Structures are given as C-alpha cells and as structure tokens.
Chain A
C-alpha cells in the first residue's frame, strides 16, 4: 500500500507536553500539506512543505507549532506545550507537484490528538 501514512493514529497528551505527529507521503510525492480538523468543522490548511523547505506556513499558529520535512524520513508536525484547544484531528496530504494533476492531494488517515 503506497498511500499516505500517518502515525500515531491516536495520541493523548497532558497539557504542557509535546506532541509529535509524523507523515510519510505517498510514494513518488515530494509535497506535503498539514491540515487541522476540529469537531464538526472542515479542514483548515496549516502548512505546505517540500523536502527541506517550508513553502507556506500561513495557516500555522505563530507559537508552539512547527513543521519540518527533512531530506530523509517523514514530515513532522510538532506542537509544544499543548493546550486543550489543540485537541483535533490532524491530517497530512501529499501531492506529486508535477504535471497537470500536481494539485491533487491525497490524504492520510489522520492523527487524533486529545489533550487532557
């Protein structure tokens, strides 16, 4: 299965702890996007990355949130000092970034973060 992979699927953190969410894009894809979905809401864009570059982080909160996509390994969304309001489903998507269908994004199964 060469789909987008995310882990962990479920993550529970206490307030003040750090959360690390991982995303491995679909095979052959070099563009990664992170979205956040609050209960009963649509997906909100957070950040767009290519290998070793952050292209657009305009949807990310200015503090406590960071993302990276290293040359080797998965993309990581990191949330420091989590608060209850960070509880949400975090989805990663990937695209090939080339050709006419470069904009088609394929989503992973998500990580459901619960902050207690």
Chain B
C-alpha cells in the first residue's frame, strides 16, 4: 500500500531522444508526486512535482504525466542531454503529512 514502484531500473538514451520513467502507486491518499534528480555524490534535488488535479505539468524539457485512474505517473525528458545523466527518483506524499515514499530510482545515461 505504501510502496511506489518505479521502472525501469536503468535507461540509456541517445542525445536528443526522449527519456521516459514510470511510477505506480496503490495508496489513493497520496496527492503530491515530486520527482528528484540526484547526481553522483550529491543529494536529491527537487526537479518537478504534480498534484492529481492536473494530468500534465511541464517545466522546460521536463514533463510529468499523471493518470489518476491508473494510479500511475511518469517523467518525460525531451531532447535528453548528456548533462541529464543522473539517477531519478519519483516520490509520493499525502498532503499534511511529511513521510515521502520514494521509488527505487532510475539510473539514466544519455549518450553523447
């Protein structure tokens, strides 16, 4: 119930391609879904987040798509660049609480 399942575990994309990372959840009480980007040796940095009242949120090359009925959300990175190579974590939270539930991470490598 409290898990967030993330896939794939690793992803290799050519420069300029689209990177897609998926997450699924069970707990319908979750209502805040952030994505974090983590470079080696660094802490996770908030990248983009969505609430379930919208189906899509776009910030620059990063887009979250949200499917409430399927309880799934995904991160799309358009025009992927080598500098995007990092580990990406999805997470879920219930408003008014504080305990983020993180996915297991996706290691993205963008080839030059």
Residue of B nearest to A31 (CB): B98
- Judge whether B43 and A56 touch: CB under 8 Å: no
**Given the complex, which residues of B lie within 8 Å of A95, measured CB to CB?**
98
Does B45 touch A at the CB level, under 8 Å?
Answer: yes
Contact with B102, one of A40, A43, A108 (Cβ below 8 angstroms): A43
- Judge whether B105 and A103 touch: CB under 8 Å: no
- Judge whether B43 and A110 touch: CB under 8 Å: yes
**Given the complex, which residues of B lie within 8 Å of A33, measured CB to CB?**
98
**Given the complex, which residues of B lie within 8 Å of A56, measured CB to CB?**
98-99
- Judge whether A42 and B103 touch: CB under 8 Å: yes
For residues 34 through 79 of chain B, which have their beta carbon under 8 Å from a beta carbon of chain A?
Answer: 34, 36, 41-46, 49
Name B residues whose Cβ lies closer than 8 Å to a Cβ of A. 6, 32, 34, 36, 41-46, 49, 89, 93, 95-100, 102-105
Name A residues whose Cβ lies closer than 8 Å to a Cβ of B. 4, 6, 31, 33, 40-45, 48, 55-56, 91, 95, 103-110
Q: What are 13 residue pairs bridging A and B, where the CB atoms are less than 8 Å apart in the complex?
A: A4-B43, A6-B43, A33-B98, A42-B89, A42-B102, A45-B99, A55-B98, A103-B98, A105-B98, A105-B100, A107-B44, A109-B41, A109-B42
